[in-house]
Structure formats: structure tokens, C-alpha cells
Amino acid sequence: MDPLSSSPQVPPDGEFELDLRSRHLEELRQVEIPVSRMPPSPWPSLPGAPSPYDQLVQWSKQALPQIQAAVARQAISPDGIDWEIEVFTLLESAAVYLRDMDKVFEAVIEAQKGTDEGDERALQLLKDSQSDIKKIASLWGLNFEVVCDLLKYTPEGHPFLNGPYVGVFFSKNINKPFLGLAFKGTNIADWREVLVDLKFALIMATGNNLWGSPIHRGFYQTMFLKFPHVQQAPIDYIKNMIDKFLVNYPVPPGIPIYLHSTGHSLGGAYATLCYAELMRLSSYNLSDFTASVDTLQDDEHGRELGNFFSQLKARNFLLRDLYSFGCPRLGGVMNKKDWASQYTKALYSHTGKSWRVVNEYDPVTAVPPVIPWSSTPWNHVDNGYQVSNKGYPKALPSEVGTRPGISIKPWNFPYHSTAKYFQNLYNASIAGMSGDEAKPITVDWVEEVPPEEVWSEMEAEAQALLATE
């Protein structure tokens, strides 16, 4: 029995999951990175510290009521910020760090043998590389599949960068369906991912992408430039995934399918840019396509995806909310173009909400820095909230249309960790903080553990899921 839902279920390893992995197999055959250049796995945990997987199991155990509430609400925050959903989406963002990079590169070697046996072994290795994430997802009553895995590739003309890794968590309950796009953050042991973060000079988005706004160069190039080996940009991968899911997701007629985007650190940056572009495209009114073509004539990419989103609307798809954690600034003002102002304007007519959560002492949220004499200020997007271990969740003042003051934070990197975010978000959720309240709360660190028989059922289902693969 699934402890989170007794409604009709989506069977594991369905047609579209297999299709995604088969497409991934084709991509692996094109990788031209020698084995000697394989990026290292994340650094090992300190002696005595729990493994990342064991830590997520414990967090899932502790936050079971929050997870159940978020899944029941399809991760939708209808009014103000919902701290239970914030806990759940932070866990989604943390879970994608569990991807086993070593197994992916073993799959590269097998796929390039060009044999049936090699292909079969490569597909199995791809499944194994995400098995820990799938086990965590099953504990929550969800499924998981990789959507876009470009960590082995470089964008056109930029050989020292690599692309994003994003997976989708999706509900097993077909009467309350939703998709959660979760983007992986920086692995500091991979120098190419670090270079993506550090390449922060502004660049103007091309065409109508992101409304032609000035964007962080590294983030933009690794999300919107074509990757030669796969002949697509990551945003196109994601569009194709949504289409594939909607074609195959066995949802009863008339029931809407909601999508949210989430990520931590670099993952939060990717999640925000993806959300912004999908929001831009979903705003096209293509009920009268002939009239809309004139609007999109100068934007071939937008015309293609705009038409795609008209199909999504016919299938009751709704782009809902963004949840980012520890996200750096993504854009600024240049050539009379204002990234944050345009994003805010788009939100006014959008059905979803945008939530940006920062830890009080997280230094990453203060970069790129604001330089007083610069004519190109950087701005965070709304709506920002600050959490802390003092129990003071509060709404942050908007940076939109302003020149933020210099924020000097001590380089206390542990406050950027998912562990610190989980602790502070969990405390906010058990204190019942929601909406726009900004008054202080005082709660001790609480460990809520579900009854052992409930947790045993969750673990048993996770094992059963893996046994069927």
C-alpha cells in the first residue's frame, strides 16, 4: 500500500520512461570525452557523517507530514508562500544531487561499443545511476525520470562549460497529477560547473528568449545555446519532455496537469531561467493561430514553442509555481533592458507564483555583487523570503527597479548547504508560518518521526519498485 495515496497509480517504467532512456542512449554514443577526463564524483562525506542518500531518507522520514500535504496540494501555493511546499520542493532539489556520475560514464563506454550487449548494459547503467533518486521519490509517492543530462557536453563555441542536469518528479496519483522539474546545483569537484557560475558578465538574450533581457552569461549559454552533439538547446529538451509526458501520462479527461520548477544554487538559477522562458511562451494566445503568426514572425523559436504551448493548453496543462533556494542573481539592466522588471511584468498575468528563498548568511545569494559605480546593476526577481536559524522567516524587500545596496556577508559556505535550508524551512513549516507574515517565530529544532509501521510501508514500496525494474 502506498502511504501517500490510494488513488489510481501510474505503473513504473512506462513507455515514456523507456523512451527517455533510449533517447539518452543515442546521446551517449555522441560523447567525445576520453575516460581520463571524466569529472570526479562529489567529495566524500566527513567521517561519521551520513551519506547524502541516508540524509535524504532521514529528512523524508522527519518531514512526512509536509511531504504528504505538498503532494496532496500538487505543490501549488495558491495565495502566499506555503512552507510545507517549500520543504517538499527543497527535498526535490536536494534529491537530484544523488545522481551517480560514475555509472553514467560507464554507460558512455558501453554505448560507444556499438553492440546490442553494450546498449543493454548502458541502459541498465543509466537506470542504476538514478536508482537512489527513484527510491527517494517512491518514499514520497512519486516517480522520477531524467529529462536532460548535458553534464558530459559543451555548448557551441564554449568547450570549458557544461550543460544542466534536470529530472522530473511526477505524481503516481492520476487524479491529482503534477510534474516537478528539479535542476541539479553545482558539484564543486567539477571545475566546468564552477566555471558556469563564475562566468557572470551580462549578455543580451538573443531574439525573444527571456524577452531579450541581459542575463548572467554562464547560465544563459548553458541553457539557451545549441549543444552540437545533440543539435538542441537544453530548453528544447525540456519542451520535448513535457510534450512526451503529456502524450503518455494516463490522466482522465478534464483533469489539469500542473508543472512547477525548482532548484538549489546553480540549479535554482537554471530553474528560474527555465520557468521564465516557459512563462513567456505560455503567455502567447494562440487560440487564433493565424493572427498570432504575425506576432511571432521574427521569432522562429518562439513560434515553434508557442504553437506547442497551445497544444498544452488543449491538454489541460498549467505552468504553476517556481521554488528556488540559494539562487544567485541572474540578470540586470543593460541597453535599456531590465531583466527583473520584465519578469515581474510577466508574473502579473500568469497563473503561477514565484518564490525565492534565501538563508540569512548564505553568501551565494549576494552574488554577482552590486558595484556602486557600475551602470549595469544586478537584481534578484521577486518574491524573496529569508529564513534563519533564529526563527525569523521574513519577506525581503523587492530589488526590482532599484539599485540594491552592497551586501557584505561572511563567506560562511555551510549556510548555502541543503542541510541548512532544510533545517530552517522545516522549522518554518512546523511553526505554521504561511502567507505574507513576517513576525518572528521561536521554535526548537524538532524531529517529527512518523510511526514505524508507516515508515516500514514506505521503505517496502521503494524496494518493491526497484525489484520490478
Residue 5 covered by a domain: no
Burial status of residue 52 (CB atoms within 10 A of its CB: 0-12, 13-18, 19 or more): middle
- What is the pLDDT at residue 202? 87
- What is the pLDDT at residue 90? 98
Q: Write down the pTM of the prediction.
A: 0.84
Please, are residues 235 and 387 in contact by the beta-carbon 8 Å criterion? no
Q: Which residues contact 236 (CB under 8 A, 6 or more apart)?
A: none
Q: In which domain, by residue range, is 383 found?
A: 15-37+53-467
- What is the pLDDT at residue 372? 58
- What is the pLDDT at residue 208? 84
Please, are residues 242 and 179 in contact by the beta-carbon 8 Å criterion? yes
- Low pLDDT (below 50) residues in the chain: 1-7, 11-12, 34-46, 286-294, 296-297, 433-451, 466, 469
Q: How many CA atoms lie within 13 A of 206 on its CB side?
A: 9
- What is the pLDDT at residue 307? 59
- Hunting for cell 505560455 — which residue is that? 282
Residue 47 covered by a domain: no
Nearest Cα neighbor of 170 from 90, 271, 250, 273 is 250
Residue 45 covered by a domain: no
Domain count, the chain: 1
At residue 214, the 3 state secondary structure works out as: strand
Residue 322 covered by a domain: yes
- What is the pLDDT at residue 14? 59
- What is the pLDDT at residue 198? 62
**CATH classification at residue 128:** 3.40.50.1820
Residue 171 covered by a domain: yes
- What is the pLDDT at residue 75? 96
Residue 3 covered by a domain: no
Residue 267 covered by a domain: yes
Residue 371 covered by a domain: yes
Q: Which residues contact 25 (CB under 8 A, 6 or more apart)?
A: 107, 111, 119, 122, 123, 126
- Hunting for cell 525520470 — which residue is that? 145
- What is the pLDDT at residue 154? 58
